[in-house]
Amino acid sequence: MLKRSALVGALVGFLAVAAADEMSGNDKLRLLYSHRFSFTQRGVPLITVGIMDGQDRVVLRGERLLRVLPDGDGGPEVRAAAAWEITVRDARPAKARWWTVVSRQATDEEIALWRGRGVEVQTFETGIVFGVEGDVIDSRALLLGVAPEATEAAATRAAAALGKKYGVDTSLHPELVARPEGLLVARDPVTGATIENRGVLWFAPDKEGGLITVDDVLHGGGGARVDEKREARSYRGRIYVTVGQDGRLTVVNAVPEDELLMGIVPSEIFPDAPAEALKAQAVAARDELLSKIGTRHFLDPYLLCATQHCQVYGGAGLEDPRTSRAVADTRGEVLLRDGGGLVEAYYSASCGGHGEHNENVWPQTPDPSLRGHLDALGADARALAPFAAGVTDENLRAFLAAGDAAFCGKSKWARGRHRWSVRLPAAEVDRMVAAELPEVGAVRELRAGKRGISGRIRELIVVGARGTARVAGELRIRRLFGGLKSSLFLPRRDGDAWVLDGAGFGHGVGMCQTGAIGMAEAGFDYRRILGHYYLGSRLRKLY
Q: What digits encode the pLDDT tens for the residues 245-281?
A: 999 999 999 999 999 999 999 988 999 999 999 999 9
> Which has the higher per-residue pLDDT, 341 or 512?
512
Residues 315 and 205 in one domain: yes
pLDDT exceeds 50 at position 302:
yes
- pLDDT value of position 18: 31
Residues 173 and 190 in one domain: no
Look up the CATH number of the domain holding residue 153: 3.30.70
Residues 315 and 375 in one domain: no
Name which of 122-131, 350-359, 521-530 the model is least confident about.
122-131
d(CA 39, CA 3): 10
> Which has the higher per-residue pLDDT, 403 or 168?
168
Residues 89 and 99 in one domain: no
- pLDDT value of position 318: 82
Residues 229 and 130 in one domain: no
d(CA 270, CA 413): 9
Residues 197 and 318 in one domain: yes
* Collapsed DSSP state (helix, strand, coil) of residue 259: helix
CB within 8 A of 74, min separation 6: which ones?
Answer: 20, 21, 24, 25
pLDDT in tens, 379-432: 999 999 999 999 999 999 999 998 688 999 998 889 889 999 999 999 999 999
Residues 426 and 319 in one domain: no
With respect to residue 298, please indicate whether it lies within any of the assigned structural domains. yes
Q: Is 85 in contact with 194 (CB distance < 8 Å)?
A: no
Residues 70 and 42 in one domain: yes
Residues 151 and 297 in one domain: no
Q: Is 431 in contact with 443 (CB distance < 8 Å)?
A: no
- pLDDT value of position 43: 77
Q: Is 533 in contact with 354 (CB distance < 8 Å)?
A: no
- pLDDT value of position 470: 95
Final residue of a structural domain among 128, 156, 178: 178
* Residue 514 CB-density burial (10 A; 0-12 exposed, 13-18 middle, 19+ buried): buried
d(CA 245, CA 54): 9
Residue 537 has, within 13 A of its CA and on its CB side, a CA count of 31
* Collapsed DSSP state (helix, strand, coil) of residue 374: strand
Residues 367 and 455 in one domain: yes
Final residue of a structural domain among 153, 178, 203: 178
pLDDT exceeds 80 at position 116:
yes
Number of structural domains (the chain) is: 3
With respect to residue 208, please indicate whether it lies within any of the assigned structural domains. yes
CA dist 83 to 193, 212, 249, Å? 11, 10, 17
Name the pTM for this structure.
Answer: 0.84
Domain span at residue 444?
Answer: 354-505
* pLDDT tier, 131 (very low <50, low <70, confident <90, very high otherwise): low
